[in-house]
């Protein structure tokens, strides 16, 4: 056991000020709310806080095609009417709109995950957190499901420079299709996704039979679930599968995507998880004592997203948080209870015991097809394109926070609605 985990936390206030549009369920403003809740519980005093660098186009092109990156760099709301063909080719439109500062937004959230991976690689921390990251649907040449740049793939590519095997775990209600697709043919990354599947639910992929191909066969694991799964069923299945995965695959590092749309009462989700049930997954993964990169993901009931990721920050810090939310800039969002935890939901659980048992047996059977953890012929490590200048002696947490609290915290009038008026019209994607 490590005596005390060193935790690096990445945040830039600019991510919370971008706006997808009035009828769009993705509200980056939830990141400001999360950060202020973290501050109000004084968790920042137990972590190293960093503003991520803005990822360079050349870094983004480590996974994405250069022409797609260049297009994202160039497109703007006032010129998009000139690029109808390109918008269609790169899948920008209703789900993935063009908005002010789109490219900078991508640079910041991707930069956070890349920086997190590099700090882990250089053993400067044990756990790295980037709640702005986790945009798991973006593909090599196109946007998808509110995601433009796949920061997770970029972070995993960094980790592969130093680790023979990377385990990716995804508890978003939507299938982690972009990450799975990127590593579908390799045994260097095992992807494990727990998600709603069926009923034409976005993105429509992630059947238990999809296991990877060629060298990657059996290194993609999908756990397809039905509406209404609760804490007990989810946690039992999660712990059984992840224990076996870690025992079989022997990863050197874990990437955990904590999409909060798997919580009860999410605007686009359909599960019954409480915050305690969601956070139990984080607690369980932490116990393996492996280097751990934690990101956000989906989550469309903003106040519950902020609650969830704050609780999970506490879990990663081994800190139990009082249920009464301290005063903070966004306190009105948490009315009328002003409590941190939310209970599970009341949707009928369509996951029968026999269904879950069948899924579990299929996944464990697939894992048995892996003889042993794959070994890798180690080669010279490629250079980092950009390495932040970290001087551990010069940077004490108080000074870092002084500079950090000057980040922009923008509260938009059009982001706060009373009660159910915040529902916007439903969209198809996470």
* Residues 149-180: tens digit of each pLDDT: 999 999 999 999 999 999 999 999 999 999 99
407: Cβ contacts below 8 Å, ≥ 6 apart: 11, 12, 13, 14, 51
Angstrom CA distances, 354 to 51, 135, 229, 360, 361, stand at: 47, 33, 14, 10, 10
Q: Is residue 365 part of a domain?
A: yes
Give pLDDT, residue 420: 45
- In a domain, residue 417? The reply is no
Residue 363 has pLDDT above 90, yes or no: yes
Alpha-carbon gap, residue 180 to 162, rounded angstroms: 20
User: Is 137 known to be catalytic?
Assistant: yes
Q: Is residue 129 part of a domain?
A: yes
Per DSSP, helices labelled H in 193-345 are 231-249, 275-286, 302-316
Determine the 3-state secondary structure of 191 from DSSP: strand
- CATH number at 168 reads 3.40.800.20
32 found inside a domain: yes
In order of 5, 179, 284, the CA distances from 287 in angstroms are 11, 24, 5
In degrees and rounded to multiples of 5, residue 424 shows phi and psi of 45, 170
User: pLDDT confidence of 376, banded at 50, 70, 90?
Assistant: low
* Contact by Cβ (8 Å): 189, 168: yes
Rounded Cα distance between 396 and 401, Å, is 9
Q: Is residue 430 part of a domain?
A: no
300 is in an annotated binding site: yes
Residue 36 assigned to a binding site:
no
48 three-state secondary structure: strand
CB 5 within 8 A of CB 294: no
Question: What domain range includes position 356?
Answer: 7-369
State residue 10 phi and psi, 5-degree precision: -110, 130
Q: Are 8 and 129 in contact (CB under 8 A)?
A: yes
Tell me whether residue 216 is annotated as binding: no
Q: Domain count of the chain?
A: 1
Has residue 386 been placed in a domain?
no
Considering the domain boundaries, does residue 151 fall inside one? yes
Q: Choosing from 35, 53, 64, 137, which is the catalytic residue?
A: 137
- Domain-embedded: residue 421: no
Q: Does 172 count as an annotated binding residue?
A: yes
| Confidence at residue 400, expressed as pLDDT on a 0 to 100 scale | 44
Average pLDDT of the chain is 90
pLDDT bracket for residue 419 (50, 70, 90): very low
Residue pLDDT, tens place only, 305-314: 999 999 999 9
Q: How far apart are CA 108 and CA 151, in angstroms?
A: 10
User: Average pLDDT in the 282-305 region?
Assistant: 98
Cα distance between residue 275 and residue 308, in whole Å: 6
């Amino acid at each position: 056991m490590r005596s005390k985990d060193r935790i690096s936390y990445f945040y830039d206030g600019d991510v919370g000020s971008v706006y997808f549009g009035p009828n769009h369920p993705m509200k980056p403003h939830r990141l400001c709310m999360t950060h202020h809740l973290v501050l109000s519980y004084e968790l920042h005093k137990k972590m190293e806080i960093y503003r991520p660098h803005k990822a360079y186009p050349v870094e983004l092109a480590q996974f994405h095609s250069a022409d797609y990156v260049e297009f994202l760099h160039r497109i703007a709301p006032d010129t998009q009417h000139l690029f109808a063909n390109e918008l269609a080719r790169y899948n920008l439109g209703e789900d993935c709109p063009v908005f002010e500062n789109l490219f900078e937004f991508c640079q910041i959230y991707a930069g956070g995950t890349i920086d997190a991976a590099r700090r882990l690689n250089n053993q400067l921390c044990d756990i790295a957190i980037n709640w702005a990251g986790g945009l798991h649907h973006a593909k090599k040449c196109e946007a998808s499901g509110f995601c433009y740049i796949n920061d997770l793939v970029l972070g995993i590519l960094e980790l592969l420079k130093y680790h023979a095997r990377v385990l990716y775990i995804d508890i978003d209600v939507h299938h982690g299709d972009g990450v799975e697709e990127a590593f579908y043919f390799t045994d260097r990354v095992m992807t494990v996704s727990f998600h709603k599947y069926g009923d034409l639910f976005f993105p429509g992929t992630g059947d238990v039979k999809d296991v990877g191909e060629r060298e990657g066969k059996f290194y993609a694991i999908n756990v397809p679930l039905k509406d209404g799964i609760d804490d007990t069923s989810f946690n039992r299945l999660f712990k059984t599968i992840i224990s076996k995965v870690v025992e079989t695959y022997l990863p050197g590092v874990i990437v955990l995507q904590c999409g909060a749309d798997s919580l009860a009462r999410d605007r686009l989700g359909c599960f019954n998880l409480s915050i305690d049930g969601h956070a139990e997954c984080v607690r369980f993964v932490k116990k393996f004592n492996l280097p751990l990169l934690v990101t956000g993901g989906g989550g469309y009931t903003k106040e519950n997203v902020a609650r969830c990721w704050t609780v999970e920050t506490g879990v990663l810090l081994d800190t139990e948080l009082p249920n009464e939310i301290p005063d903070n800039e966004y306190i009105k969002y948490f009315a009328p209870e002003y409590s941190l935890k939310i209970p599970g939901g009341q949707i009928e659980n369509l996951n029968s015991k026999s269904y879950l048992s069948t899924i579990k047996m299929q996944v464990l059977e697939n894992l048995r097809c892996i003889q042993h953890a794959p070994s890798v012929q180690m080669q010279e490590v490629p250079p980092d394109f950009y390495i932040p200048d970290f001087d551990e002696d010069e940077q004490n947490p108080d000074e870092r926070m002084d500079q950090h609290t000057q980040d922009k915290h923008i509260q938009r009038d059009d982001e706060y609605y009373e009660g159910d008026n915040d529902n916007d019209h439903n969209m198809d994607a996470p």
